[in-house]
Amino acid sequence: MSESTVQNPPSAPAALLPGERKGLTKKELTSDHPTWCPGCGDFSVLALYLKLIEKRKLWHEKIATVAGIGCSSRFPYFVQANGVHYIHGRALPFASGISLTRPDLHLFVFGGDGDAFSIGGNHLNHAARKNIKMTYVIMDNWVYGLTKKQTSPTSPIGFKSKTDQWGSVDQPINPMKQLISAGASFIARATHANPNHLLQMMEAAMDHDGFSVVECLSECVEFYEGAFDASNPRKGGKFELVPADHDVTNDVAAYKLADAAFPGYFGIFYKSDRPTKNKLEAKINADVQEKVAGKKDWEILQATFNKLK
């Protein structure tokens, strides 16, 4: 096989050698001015994403930021790097196509609760089950903000919206439980109101080799003001970390932790080092390619055609 014709993406992102290339500044990373409402929690997530890129010295061309549809999904337009603003709910399969063909990129997906748990709910299950390497930050605001206050899959029972004038009656999704059941291999919970913790969680997610998810509470000041006050000490609430003795490799324990009433716990709920689909497919390819070693692509195809004569 001629090396040039093999799908041979550059290998995984290499660590930056000192003095090789400078890290990017916030200015270099900033693109369009965010269109979010003043006070929106999403500003905090964006600022920390840029900080993460700065801190880890990621390069423009190696970053892929993908989003679906929703307020939070405008994200890629505000980052000076390769970005994708895809269709509603389908950012994860789009990103999977990137992940499985370009392991050399740092792949981040941003979206809201509608993308993650409603229209794209099944994609979340399958990206998690397949453990496709990427980092997914779900900016959960418990409401549909872009379309101006309809019920979301995470809206609590009794939430009054334009589609539930008497208060929502449908049981909300518990993101942590959903992600544990789906088999995500890194699951963390954070809030926009605690930036240091959120940055820690995003960084840990980025360093995880697998499908890593951070659910970040991100307040919609316009349509669900005060939704997360109970989790914010500055507003009289309580920010409680995952207990130090919690075994992050125990999914049953994680599920119990997720059962706590709001505001619940923040931190890493679950982490597993089971192999990614990326690695498993690479293993299949390596095994299969042993049998055709040294052959050019056309010679491999010729051998197949010889059997069809």
Partner 1 sequence: MSDLSTSTVKGPETTVSKISEVVIRFAGNSQDGIQAIGGFLARLAGRSEQEVMTFMTIPSTISGGPSIFQVRIGSGEVLSAGDEADVLMAFYQHSYEGHISSLRKGGIVIYDSDHVQPNPEWEKNYRHVGIPITGRTVEAIGGTAKDKGKNIFSLGLVAKIFDLDVPKLERLITERFGGKNPGVLKNAMLAFNAGYGYSTGSILQTFQFTDSAKRSRNQVVMTGNEAMAYGFIAAGVRFGAAYPITPWSEIMEILRRELPKYGGTFVQCEDEIASISMAIGAGWAGRVAVTGSSGPGISLKTEALGWAVNAEVPLVVVDVQRGGPSTGLPTAVEQSDLNIACYGGHGDAPRVVLAPMGVEDCFYTAIEAVNIARKYNVPVIILSDQSIGTRIEAFEEPDLEKICQDISPDLSPVEDYTPYALDEELHRRVVPGTIIKNGKYPVAGGLEHDEMGHPTGTPQLHMQMTAKRRRKLQRLAAELPAPKIYGSPEGNLLLVGWGSTNGPIREAVDRARAAGDSVSALNIRNINPLPPGLENIFAGFDNISVVEMNDEGLYGYGQLCGLLRARFCDPKIRGLTKTDGLTWRVREILERAKVTIADAVRKM
Residues interacting with partner 1, by CB under 8 A?
1-2, 4-10, 28, 31-32, 59-64, 66, 69, 76-77, 80-87, 90, 92-98, 100-102, 104-105, 122-123, 125-126, 281, 284-285, 288-289, 291-292, 296-298, 300-302, 304-305, 307-309
In the complex with partner 1, the residue whose CB is nearer, 17 or 308, is 308
CB 126, min distance to partner 1, A: 4
Give the dihedral of Cα atoms 239, 244, 245, 248; nearest 10 deg: 80
CB 132, min distance to partner 1, A: 9
Please give the Cα distance from 164 to 161 (Å, whole number). Answer: 5
In the complex with partner 1, the residue whose CB is nearer, 82 or 147, is 82
CB 287, min distance to partner 1, A: 8
CB 147, min distance to partner 1, A: 15
In the complex with partner 1, the residue whose CB is nearer, 80 or 131, is 80
Tokens 């959960």 belong to residue? 140
Quickly list H helices, the chain: 26-29, 42-55, 91-101, 113-114, 121-130, 175-182, 195-207, 251-257, 277-290, 297-306
Nearest to 189 by CA among 246, 143, 105, 119: 246
Report CA-CA distances (Å) from 137 to 80, 143, 182, 206, 211: 18, 17, 16, 10, 11
In the complex with partner 1, the residue whose CB is nearer, 16 or 100, is 100
Tokens 């994708």 belong to residue? 84
CB 51, min distance to partner 1, A: 18
